[in-house]
């Protein structure tokens, strides 16, 4: 278990992030830090601009105002390792499972030998070794999402962004993959920002939760989740935190 102290170094600093499309103000002056190796969840009501938030964080979209620093430098996908796991599957149908997982390392120009070793290690971690030579259309939807997750972890990301990666899967698979995600995060010591609208999921995986408001989006509250792992969904302390977050969102 990693140190849970507040003394960890800030890996990501988001300063006064603002994004508007014409007159529509979507993100309104958002500032927060993510610590090195932290698992941060972001929840908010539907349509609160979560996707825009992630797109700006990943630098796919330039912010209107404000900036994002990684290790004290402005975030740049060519310099920093930013991984993004999208909501929809992003497997290239012309590449095998193995080749799909290797894509990130290939683009980042990892040395061949290091990439091969790491590929083997990651495939083992996510249990894709048996299916490494199949094509994406030969594996299930949940496997496709695991390929994307494996690819994201493989590049040893400075920042791993996840946009409701398990939103479209059934409950049982989701629990299974959430456990797997927590395991990967611990094993690889990654800094993760996990966006979801599923409160239970957020409380289950995260160390800290940021609750977003309705548009124009601001950070409404911050909730620490100091629960031991593996967490239990029926533990009174777990239920208590879940209720608190639900109260904060109140989308009905």
Partner 1 sequence: MAYETVKVDTPLVLRILPVASVVAFFGIWQGVVDFGIVPNTMLASPTQVAVLFWEKLFVADPDGAVLSVHAWVSIQEAFTGFFLSLLVGIPLGLMMGWFNVAEGLARPIFELIRPIPPVAWIPLTIFWFGIGIPGKVFIIWLSGIVPCVINSYVGVRMTSPTLIQMARTYGATDWEIFKKICIPSALPMVFGAMTISQAYCWTTLVGAEYLAADQGLGYLITMGRRLASPPMVVLGMICVGLTGVAIGIVIERLEKKLLAGIRR
- Shortest distance in whole angstroms from residue 152 CB to partner 1: 9
Q: Which stretch binds partner 1 (CB under 8 A): 22-30, 95-103, 212-220, 239-247?
A: 95-103
Extract the tokens encoding 133: 């030579």
Measured in degrees and rounded to the nearest 5, phi and psi for residue 207 equal -90, -30
Q: What gap in Å lies between CA 133 and CA 194, rounded to an integer?
A: 29
How many residues touch partner 1 under the rule CB under 8 A: the total is 29
- Shortest distance in whole angstroms from residue 99 CB to partner 1: 10
95 near partner 1 (CB under 8 A):
yes
- Shortest distance in whole angstroms from residue 167 CB to partner 1: 14
- Shortest distance in whole angstroms from residue 247 CB to partner 1: 34
Candidates 41, 52, 58, 217; binder of partner 1 (CB under 8 A) is 58
137 near partner 1 (CB under 8 A):
yes
Candidates 155, 182, 188, 190; binder of partner 1 (CB under 8 A) is 155
191 near partner 1 (CB under 8 A):
no
- Shortest distance in whole angstroms from residue 118 CB to partner 1: 15
Q: What gap in Å lies between CA 45 and CA 195, rounded to an integer?
A: 11
Name the nearest CA neighbour of 206 among 218, 194, 197, 215.
Answer: 194
Sheet of 10-21, strand order: 24-35, 10-21, 65-70, 73-74
Instruction: Tell me which DSSP letter residue 130 carries.
Output: G
138 near partner 1 (CB under 8 A):
yes
167 near partner 1 (CB under 8 A):
no
HSE at residue 38, side-chain half, CA atoms within 13 A, is 26
Q: Is 157 exposed, middle or buried (0-12, 13-18, 19+ CB in 10 A)?
A: buried
Q: What gap in Å lies between CA 181 and CA 169, rounded to an integer?
A: 14
216 near partner 1 (CB under 8 A):
no
- Shortest distance in whole angstroms from residue 195 CB to partner 1: 14
| Nearer CB in complex with partner 1: 2/79 | 79
47 CB-near residues (< 8 Å, 6+ apart): 214, 215
Q: What gap in Å lies between CA 233 and CA 61, rounded to an integer?
A: 36
Q: Which stretch binds partner 1 (CB under 8 A): 15-23, 80-88, 120-128, 205-213?
A: 80-88
Judged by the rule CB under 8 A, the positions of this chain that interact with partner 1 are 58, 60, 77-79, 82-84, 86, 88, 90, 92-96, 103-104, 107-108, 130-131, 134-135, 137-138, 148, 155, 161
């Amino acid at each position: 278990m990693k140190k849970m102290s507040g003394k960890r170094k800030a890996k990501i600093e988001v300063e006064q992030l603002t994004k508007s499309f014409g007159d529509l103000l979507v993100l309104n002056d958002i500032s927060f830090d993510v610590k090195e190796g932290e698992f941060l969840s972001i929840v908010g009501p539907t349509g609160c601009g979560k996707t825009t938030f992630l797109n700006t964080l990943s630098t796919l979209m330039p912010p209107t105002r404000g900036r994002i620093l990684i290790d004290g430098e402005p975030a740049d996908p060519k310099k920093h390792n930013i991984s993004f796991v999208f909501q929809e599957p992003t497997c290239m149908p012309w590449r095998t499972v193995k080749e799909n997982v290797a894509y990130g390392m290939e683009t980042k120009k990892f040395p061949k030998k290091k990439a091969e070793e790491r590929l083997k290690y990651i495939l083992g971690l996510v249990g894709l070794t048996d299916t490494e030579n199949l094509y994406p259309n030969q594996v299930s939807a949940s496997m496709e999402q695991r390929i994307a997750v494996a690819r994201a972890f493989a590049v040893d990301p400075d920042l791993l962004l996840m946009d409701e990666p398990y939103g479209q899967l059934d409950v049982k698979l989701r629990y299974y993959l959430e456990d797997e995600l927590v395991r990967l995060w611990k094993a690889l010591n990654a800094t993760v920002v996990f966006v979801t609208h599923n409160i239970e999921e957020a409380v289950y995986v995260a160390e800290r939760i940021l609750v977003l408001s309705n548009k124009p989006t601001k950070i409404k509250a911050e909730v620490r989740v100091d629960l031991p792992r593996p967490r239990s969904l029926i533990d009174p302390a777990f239920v208590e935190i879940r209720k608190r977050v639900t109260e904060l969102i109140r989308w009905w």
